[in-house]
Structure 1
Amino acid sequence: MPTQHEVDEAAIRRQVDRLAYCLHAKDVEGLRRLYTTDVVSFDIDPPLQHVGLDAKMKNWENAFAFFDELAYEIRDFTVVASDDVAFGHGFGRLSGTLKNGVATSGMWVRATFGFRRLGDGWVIAHDQVSVPLDIATGNGVTDLEPATRSTDEPE
């Protein structure tokens, strides 16, 4: 018999799967149901934060404007759930076919999600996307891919 934490973690993983599905379908209303109304998003594009559900949906609509077809993949997703809050992290990649017909494999980013239990379900209350920074140049490093095993882990 699974524990409550295992049940919650599975439910959160399904929410992340729904996120990927809604992005592929460009389903703004489906995406809207995955977030809290007061979501705070630290996404990859300006400004520094997007506050509230309308701002987050506008951010997704802006992304949809670039793509005819798109896919969202998350890799190495880890989730930890408590009674009413949870967090998850992994690597995400938005890819697809741009409006000009060019296919793009996208870039891998670091993705972190904060979840809140509302009623009997989990919704995203916070998300953050980032790319590593080359401190010497001040440029983002966008050509990295997730490793099978973290290079920061001891052997």
Structure 2
Amino acid sequence: MTTAHDVIRQQIGKIVDGIHAKDLDALRRIYAADVVSFDVEPPLQHVGVEAKLKNWARAFTFFAEVSYEVRDLTLTVGDDVAFGHCFGRLSGTLGDGTVTNGMWVRATFCFRKIDGDWLIVHDQASVPFDMSSGRGVVDLDP
């Protein structure tokens, strides 16, 4: 029997697959229409699935080949709301042929069961920052 935990893990897997394929339509099916995203790039929030997909489209322009790795995913699941956190890393081969290991970010996903589907209604990606310089610290590994 497939549990809600299993279904949500599959949704996270679809994010990984969608990013690898640069498939915006596949990613669209994972997010709620009114998703609110606190991503690593400005502005402070991106509201709606079109804004979220615009971020992914912009990221894809940098990469000839791209992958996304999820590590240490932890989920808490209720009847119609769930949240999870993990470390995520976007990496690949840039358009000029440079291979990049990317950087690890802290990722949080909030899901809501909408019409029987577990969809992301909020996500956040962040990096720690050095308080003395005010700069993000992007060279850490989990």
What is the aligned partner in structure 2 of residue 16 from structure 1?
12
Whole-angstrom CA distance in 1 between matches of 2:57 and 2:117: 25
By percentage of residues, which structure has more strand?
2
Question: Structure 1: 5+ residue runs without aligned partners?
Answer: 147-155
* Residue aligned with 1:107, SS: strand
TM value normalised by structure 2: 0.98
What is the aligned partner in structure 1 of residue 64 from structure 2?
68
Q: Percent identity?
A: 57
Whole-angstrom CA distance in 2 between matches of 1:28 and 1:121: 18
Pick aligned residue for 1:109 from 100, 105, 114: 105
Q: Please, what is the CA RMSD of the aligned residues?
A: 0.9
Whole-angstrom CA distance in 2 between matches of 1:100 and 1:127: 30
Pick aligned residue for 1:142 from 115, 138, 141: 138
Work out whether 1:128 is the aligned partner of 2:124: yes
State the 1:103 CA deviation. 0.3
What is the aligned partner in structure 1 of residue 73 from structure 2?
77
What is the aligned partner in structure 2 of residue 31 from structure 1?
27
Pick aligned residue for 1:59 from 34, 55, 58: 55
> Which residue identity is paired with 1:119?
D
What is the aligned partner in structure 1 of residue 44 from structure 2?
48
> Which residue identity is paired with 2:124?
Q
Whole-angstrom CA distance in 1 between matches of 2:76 and 2:5: 7
* Residue aligned with 1:106, SS: strand
Whole-angstrom CA distance in 1 between matches of 2:19 and 2:66: 7
Task: Say how many residue pairs are matched.
Answer: 142
Question: Structure 2: 5+ residue runs without aligned partners?
Answer: none
Structure 1 outlier segments of 4+, above 6 Å: none
Alpha-carbon deviations, 1:84-143, whole Å to 9, x = none?
Answer: 100000000000000011000000000000001012220100000000010011011100
State the 1:44 CA deviation. 0.3
Whole-angstrom CA distance in 2 between matches of 1:121 and 1:81: 14
| Structure of greater Rg | 1
Whole-angstrom CA distance in 2 between matches of 1:62 and 1:46: 12
